[in-house]
Chains A and B, each alone.
Chain A
C-alpha cells in the first residue's frame, strides 16, 4: 500500500506529503532513540516516533523510510519541517499512540 493510501486509511493529518506519496510502504518501525532507529529501521518502512526535531528528517533520509508518522499529537519543529520538505519526506501527524498506528499499518500491508 502506498504512503497516500495509508495516510487516508489511518486518517493521518498531513504535515508534508510532496512527490513521494505514491511510494510503497513495506514495513513499520517504532522508535525514538535515533541510533536504534538507524540500526533497525528498514528501507520502505513507515517510521513512527514522538520525536519532532531536526534529526528526524536526517535519520529518515539515511534509512530511506517511506514515510514518518509523528504519534501522540506531537509535531515537527519548524526547522525539521523545512528539512523534510527539502528532502521530500512525507510526514504525517496522528493523535493516536504508536501502538494504535502500527496496528492500523499492519492491516494495510
Chain B
C-alpha cells in the first residue's frame, strides 16, 4: 500500500438504526485486512460509529468518505441535517438534544462528539444552519 490510498464511500440512511454501524463495521474489516494496529482500528471504528449514529439520529442521513493511507485514516462525514447552532455547547460532555426514544436505545448521553474528539488526532466541524454539517476526522497511525 506504499504511496497508494484506498478510498471508500458509504451512504447513511436517515433514521434507520438497522443499518447504522455498517460503514464503520466495513471499514474496520478493511483496516484489519490491511494489517493496521488494533488500537488504530478501534479508534477509527468507534469515532466513525459515533458519527454515523449522529447522522441517523439528528441529521437526516448523509454520506461518508474514507481515505486510507499507510500513515493515516481520514473520515469525512457529510450530513443533510439542520446544522449545529452552538458547536462549543455540542462538544460539552453530557449535552444532548436527543429524544427519549434515542435515549432508550442507549444513546443521547451527550458523549458522541467528545468520544470522537478523544479517539481522533484531528477533528474539524463545519456547519451551516439549515444546510448540514461536515465532520472531518483523521487518525494517524504512528502518532504518540
Is there an interface contact between B45 and A35, defined as CB atoms closer than 8 Å? no
Is there an interface contact between A38 and B18, defined as CB atoms closer than 8 Å? no
The answer, yes or no, to whether A64 is at the interface (CB within 8 Å) is yes
Is there an interface contact between A62 and B106, defined as CB atoms closer than 8 Å? no
Is there an interface contact between A51 and B17, defined as CB atoms closer than 8 Å? no
Q: Render A23-41 as a binary contact track against B, CB cut-off 8 A, 1 for contact.
A: 0000000001111111100
Q: Give the docked Cα–Cα distance between A54 and B105 (Å).
A: 8
- Give every chain A residue within 8 A of B20 (Cβ-Cβ): 54-55, 58
Is there an interface contact between B107 and A34, defined as CB atoms closer than 8 Å? yes
Q: Give the docked Cα–Cα distance between A79 and B111 (Å).
A: 25
Is there an interface contact between B109 and A38, defined as CB atoms closer than 8 Å? no
Given contacts A62-B49, A64-B42, contact A53 B17 (CB under 8 A): yes
The answer, yes or no, to whether B55 is at the interface (CB within 8 Å) is no
The answer, yes or no, to whether A97 is at the interface (CB within 8 Å) is no
The answer, yes or no, to whether B9 is at the interface (CB within 8 Å) is no
- Give every chain B residue within 8 A of A55 (Cβ-Cβ): 17, 20-21, 53, 105-107
Given contacts A38-B115, A62-B45, contact A33 B109 (CB under 8 A): yes
The answer, yes or no, to whether B74 is at the interface (CB within 8 Å) is no
- Give every chain A residue within 8 A of B49 (Cβ-Cβ): 38, 58-59, 62
Q: B interface vs A, CB < 8 Å?
A: 17-18, 20-21, 24-25, 28, 38, 42, 45-46, 49-50, 53, 105-107, 109, 111-112, 115, 118-119
